[in-house]
Structure formats: structure tokens, C-alpha cells
Structure 1
Amino acid sequence: MLRTTRAIRENIDPRLIAFLKCQSSGYKPKKSDTFSRDDMNNFLKDAPDEKYLLMKVVLIFGITGACRCDELVNMKIDDVEDNGSILIIRIPDSKTKISRTFVVDGNSTNGVDVVEIFRKYLALRPPEIGHRRLFITFRSGKCTVQPVGKNALPKIPMEIAKFLGKPNPEKFTGHSLRRSSATLLVDSGADSLSLKRHGGWRSTSVAKGYVNDSLYAKRRATNSIIRGENSSLPVIQKTSSPSRASTSSDTMAIVSQPMSTSELSNVLTSTNISSSKSLLGTGITIDANNCTFNIYVNK
């Protein structure tokens, strides 16, 4: 009844969705190319500020915060808080209506202080501007009062790719910044939940798509096949036993090595995990995902 009513009043054939699914079989959408961590470091270090200062700030913010182009275009100067060694950037409104906050760390990257790059760009801002937009036009080492528009900002990744000598720089679009951020995060070992929080995605399938395409995930799958490691088990690593008097910072500095399945079985058998001492005295660190904890309260 409902389908017939829609077909009569809205002229929509109920078989349209099935037809479109059949036609889209085998279709692979084109995706923007991504920047590597070396690409980012090389551009920040080698590109002259007289021409590329605005592009550097856009690259830093776009990759660090997985920002969409419209989020960068509409970003206000009030959304950035300078806390000395770090920048706290807030995105109050986004495509998915999820507000986000990310941090730009002032620690030097490849000899470049990214916070100082932003401060240098901010210092060139004219004193009297009739708007609060953060990104304004930058030419010949000077800033104008004209804000960077929605058509100009998506071209910045292509200009960065041209400077880096990338093949097919036209494949680097405004979405390249967000895709680069997600790819770098997942390749460092993050899961889909962390990725969703970072980029503000509502769809789990989108986040899982980055995880499935990750080189980190593919290498882990290869190790499971070749070395017989069960990827569904928590990754438990063995470290050299720290002394009782060692501090937490000393413990964090210990270099760990993967444990074999037999070593894991022996350790779990000989260690009382439920004790109050936990695993601190065994030199074991646990990196586990998708765990189930059963908590029993004795009354």
C-alpha cells in the first residue's frame, strides 16, 4: 500500500533501489590521495614561509584534527586557544553535528615547531578585520582581510603536492587532509573506535574501511598467518623485570618484545592475575582490544 502510494504521488518506482544496487555492482569510487608523515615533515621544513605559510597552517590543522574543508573555512580565531606549548582547537559545529576538540603539540617535528608556525601566521593578521574567520588570504608574505573561501581552500593540498613533486597532484583534493589524518592514525595502531572519536564519524562502516585498508592491519594479519600468532587474542608483551624500587617513568622506558604462545601460557598459569598486585611485578604489559571483563563483588 505504501509503495503504491509513493509511486502515484511522488512518481517513485519501488524497484528503483534494487535497480541502482544492481547497476553499482563492481563500482569503485575514486578516493583522494593521502600525504605520508614524511611528506608533512618535508613540506613544513623545506617550503619557504613567504609563499607557503598559510598552506603550512592549513596542513597542520587539517591533518592533526582530521578536519573537513568546510570546518577549516568556517573556523574562527576564537576557536583556537594558545596554552603555551600546545594549541587547543575546538570545532563547535560539523557535518555530523558532533563538536570536537583536538590539540596541536608544540614539540618540534623534524626540527620544526608547528605552534610557532601558527603564531607567525597569526602575527601577520591585520589589526582591523570585520570578521573573525581564522584563515585569511596570504600573498607575498602578507595577509589581507579577505577570508579564504570554500573554493580556494580545497586547492591547497594540490599546491602542497606540487611542491613535494608528487605524481598526479590533481588527485590531492580538500578531502586529502582528512583521509591523511585517518590513515596515519590507523597505521599507528588505532582501532575503529578511536578513529570515530578522532574524526567525529557517526558511521562505523566508514571507520572500519580505514582500518581494513591499513598497512598496520595487513601486517598483523600476515604475522598471524606466517608466525601462527592469533590476532584475536590480546597482544601481551614481555619486558625485562623492573625492580621494586623503579619509578613509573623507568618502567615506561623498558623495551618490550613479543611473547610466544607457549610463554604466554606459562606466564598466565604461574601468575595470579586477580591478585591486588596485578602484573606490575612480572614485567608484563598488556595491550588488549575488544575485551570482556567479569566483575564479581563479594558480599
Structure 2
Amino acid sequence: MNNCESEEIVEAANIAISSLLPTKSRSLYDIAYNRFKKCADDKEFLMIKVGLILEIAGACRTDELVNLTVDDIEDRLFLYYKAGKCSSQPVGKNTMGKNPSVVASYLKLPNVACYTGHCLRRSSATLLADAGVDITTIKRHAGWKSTTVAEGYVENSIENKTKIANQVLVGTTTSAITKTVNVSEK
């Protein structure tokens, strides 16, 4: 792959990422990501970075990540990489599941234990809900059969709660104005 192709891929990825993040979260995300990107050396954090991208973009379960393969590679996609050395030992479910807490610790975020592989899967669904994606698409994306599970993510979406609250307030205000005008005309 030449440098132009590489730049085109990076640009396409940036466009895709920018359309997934809620506007309110963008600045906080950019600050944390840029801090992580500048300080987190690929020799130690490359597998974690790739894993985070796949977990959020694909709403992947840790089992799905550790079983991920590349067509032309006979081994797992993720191999154990530490202190600048790669071994043939594949990354396991527990290591993959701890990656978010490793990043949270690195970024000095509070409640590091709350950052799990599952929280990234929830983040993926919540980002979709915040973007206005319907329940059927969220269910399909995350592989859920139950609408109740998918709706749980939509309920927890701050963007969705704000949107609904605004609809209620606008609906109430419009209704109240209409009633007031109708009463005063009589």
C-alpha cells in the first residue's frame, strides 16, 4: 500500500468516526484520545488501540474479538505483544476484556474497574442511539434478538433523553399556547 492509499484510508476512517460521536462528547473524546495517542506508544498499546476500535465500531463481544481471524492468516488476529516483542501466544478473552480498564488507568480516569469490554459494546449501541439509529438496526449491529435489551441502551442514551425531553417541552408549550389562544378567542 502506498502513502496515498494510506492517507485515503485514514481520511475515510476519520469521516466515519466523526459521524458516530455525539457533538457534545466530541471535545472530551478528542482530548482523551489525543492524550492517549501522543503518550501511548504502539510498542505497548497497538493491540489495545486496534481492539478498542473494533469493540466500539463493531459492538463486538470479547469472544468475538479473540476468535477474529484474517483470511490469509491462519492464527488469531491479536497476538500477545509486550515490551516490543511479539510472541505466538494469542490474546485471550480476559486480556481483551481488561483493555478498557488499562486505557482508563493510563488516562487516570476515575473508577477504572468500571471500564470493561462490555462497556465498549454498550458505548457502540449508545453512540448509534445518540445518532438516531432505530432499534432494529441497533439490534442487528450488536447481534441482539431481544428488543428489550436494545431498548435498554436507548433508554441510557443521554442524547435520546434530551431529544425526548425537548419534544415533551415543545409539545407541551405548543399545546398550552393553542389552548390559551382558543380560550381567549371565545
- Superposed pair shares fold, TM > 0.5: yes
Compare the two structures and name the one with the higher helix fraction. 2
Contact 2:55-2:117 at 8 Å conserved across structures: no
Question: Does 2:53 align with 1:60?
Answer: yes
Instruction: Determine helix, strand or coil for the equivalent of 1:137.
Output: strand
Contact 2:97-2:118 at 8 Å conserved across structures: yes
Q: For 1:69, which of 46, 62, 65 is the aligned residue?
A: 62
- Once the two structures are TM-superposed, the CA of residue 210 in structure 1 deviates from its matched residue by 1.0
- Once the two structures are TM-superposed, the CA of residue 42 in structure 1 deviates from its matched residue by 3.3
Question: Does 2:94 align with 1:160?
Answer: no
> Over residues 148-179 of structure 1, what are the superposed CA-to-partner deviations in whole Å (9 max), with x where a residue is unaligned?
01222111111011112110101111212211
Q: What is the TM-score with the length of structure 2 in the denominator?
A: 0.70
Q: What is the TM-score with the length of structure 1 in the denominator?
A: 0.45
After TM superposition, list the pairs within 5 Å mapping 1:7-86 onto structure 2: 38=29, 41-42=33-34, 45-46=37-38, 47-78=40-71
After TM superposition, list the pairs within 5 Å mapping 1:116-265 onto structure 2: 131-228=74-171
Contact 2:56-2:123 at 8 Å conserved across structures: yes
Query: What code does the residue aligned with 2:166 have?
Result: N
Query: What code does the residue aligned with 2:78 have?
Result: F
- CA 1:213 to 1:41, structure 2 compared with 1: closer, same or farther past 3 Å? same
> Over residues 193-223 of structure 1, what are the superposed CA-to-partner deviations in whole Å (9 max), with x where a residue is unaligned?
1101111111110111111221122112211
Which structure would you say has the larger Rg? 1
Supply the distance in 2 between the matched residues of 1:187 and 1:146 (Cα, whole angstroms).
38
Compare the two structures and name the one with the higher strand fraction. 1
Partner residue in 2 for 1:97: none
Supply the distance in 2 between the matched residues of 1:135 and 1:62 (Cα, whole angstroms).
13
Contact 2:66-2:93 at 8 Å conserved across structures: yes
- Once the two structures are TM-superposed, the CA of residue 41 in structure 1 deviates from its matched residue by 3.2
In structure 2, runs of 5+ residues without a counterpart are: 1-24, 174-186
Moved beyond 6 Å, runs of 4+: none
Instruction: Determine helix, strand or coil for the equivalent of 1:77.
Output: coil
Supply the distance in 2 between the matched residues of 1:63 and 1:43 (Cα, whole angstroms).
19
- Once the two structures are TM-superposed, the CA of residue 224 in structure 1 deviates from its matched residue by 1.7
Contact 2:126-2:157 at 8 Å conserved across structures: yes
Question: What is the percentage of aligned positions where both structures have the same residue?
Answer: 51
> Over residues 6-57 of structure 1, what are the superposed CA-to-partner deviations in whole Å (9 max), with x where a residue is unaligned?
xxxxxxxxxxxxxxxxxxxxxxxxxxxxxx6617733662322121111001
- CA 1:42 to 1:179, structure 2 compared with 1: closer, same or farther past 3 Å? farther
- CA 1:139 to 1:225, structure 2 compared with 1: closer, same or farther past 3 Å? same
C-alpha root-mean-square deviation of aligned residues, in Å?
A: 2.4
Supply the distance in 1 between the matched residues of 2:98 and 2:42 (Cα, whole angstroms).
18
Supply the distance in 2 between the matched residues of 1:195 and 1:63 (Cα, whole angstroms).
13
Supply the distance in 2 between the matched residues of 1:61 and 1:142 (Cα, whole angstroms).
23
Instruction: Determine helix, strand or coil for the equivalent of 2:121.
Output: helix
